[in-house]
Amino acid sequence: MDLSGKVALVTGGAVRVGRAIALGLAGAGVHLALHYHRSASAAQEVVVEARRMGIEAVALPADLAYMEQAQALARAAERHFGRVDIIIHSASPFIRASLLETTPDLWRQVMGVLVDGFFIIARELTPGMVRRGEGSLVVILDRGTVDPWPDFLAHSVGKSALWALARNLAVELAPHVRVNGIVPGPVLPPPDYSEEEQARVAQGTLLERWGCPQDVVDALLYLLRADYITGEVLFVDGGERWAHRRPRRNCQTGG
Ligand SMILES: NC(=O)c1ccc[n+]([C@@H]2O[C@H](COP(=O)([O-])OP(=O)(O)OC[C@H]3O[C@@H](n4cnc5c(N)ncnc54)[C@H](OP(=O)(O)O)[C@@H]3O)[C@@H](O)[C@H]2O)c1
């Protein structure tokens, strides 16, 4: 896919990793329907920055836990630009809660954003892509997609379900629309992470360090341009998923 002049809907695009994704797409010449939930002024800043880069951008609010808002978001993006070629689903509540801490409301909210929101947006926008013969969807996952993560039960199950949905769409929407996923590892610590926690997380990767949002952007731009890849998931995690397999003693360094 030649990205220049395409239109992307980026969910959760106002802050942190989503912001880096939005500006990375703008840097590649992609026009932006920039979704936000609570971060209205941050979204406006991204729009201003994108416009400075010569990109057409609009900020669109929605609480994706509500299907009707997800539908209105998709329709507003298509109305504004006349079409949407790319969907990046990055919006994601990140709430620590075990089984008994997960209230039915919390469960519904997390599943709503991660799964229902993407389902509705894809349902609204992919028929146009199929008609035009081109489209690309990328879901932003995390390690909960492949490993149980009971401290973040709804989040972990929601990400797994999101990847299941994406894989199904890759099959259903082929050959015109490609659907892929990215599993970032630790690329940007939550604001409340202590230095000790950050160091512990870094040691939990093979590369023994945090990545950065640009690592995710680079992977995303690769997937969007890689016309022979669909139904695939790309790990950008410093080897986090294999770190538990490290030998206790490093045989090569003797350390
Ligand atoms: N940070 C990391 O190291 C890391 C690691 C692995 C995976 N990831 C994944 O990368 C993505 C971005 O991560 P992040 O750390 O930048 O996320 P974050 O700081 O936790 O931001 C959460 C995002 O989700 C949006 N959101 C939350 N509730 C919503 C709702 N009800 N409706 C619509 N949008 C909602 C927020 O929008 P508003 O701010 O506008 O409310 C915000 O854009 C996520 O999918 C995350 O799982 C990140």
Lining ligand 1 with CB less than 6 A are: 12, 14-18, 36-39, 63-65, 90-94, 113, 140, 142, 184, 186-188
CA distance 109 to 64: 8
pLDDT of residue 247: 86
Q: Which atom of ligand 1 is nearest to the CA of 64?
A: 32
- pLDDT tens for each residue of the chain, 255 residues long: 899 999 999 999 999 999 999 999 999 999 999 999 999 999 999 999 999 999 999 999 999 999 999 999 999 999 999 999 999 999 999 999 999 999 999 999 999 999 999 999 999 999 999 999 999 999 999 999 989 998 999 999 999 999 999 999 999 999 999 999 999 999 999 999 999 999 999 999 999 999 999 999 999 999 999 999 999 999 999 999 999 888 876 556 554
Angle, helices 16-27/40-52, rounded to nearest 10 degrees: 20
Domain borders along the chain are: 7-234
What is the CATH T-level fold of the domain 7-234, as seen in this structure?
A: Rossmann fold (3.40.50)
pLDDT of residue 138: 99
CA distance 165 to 73: 20
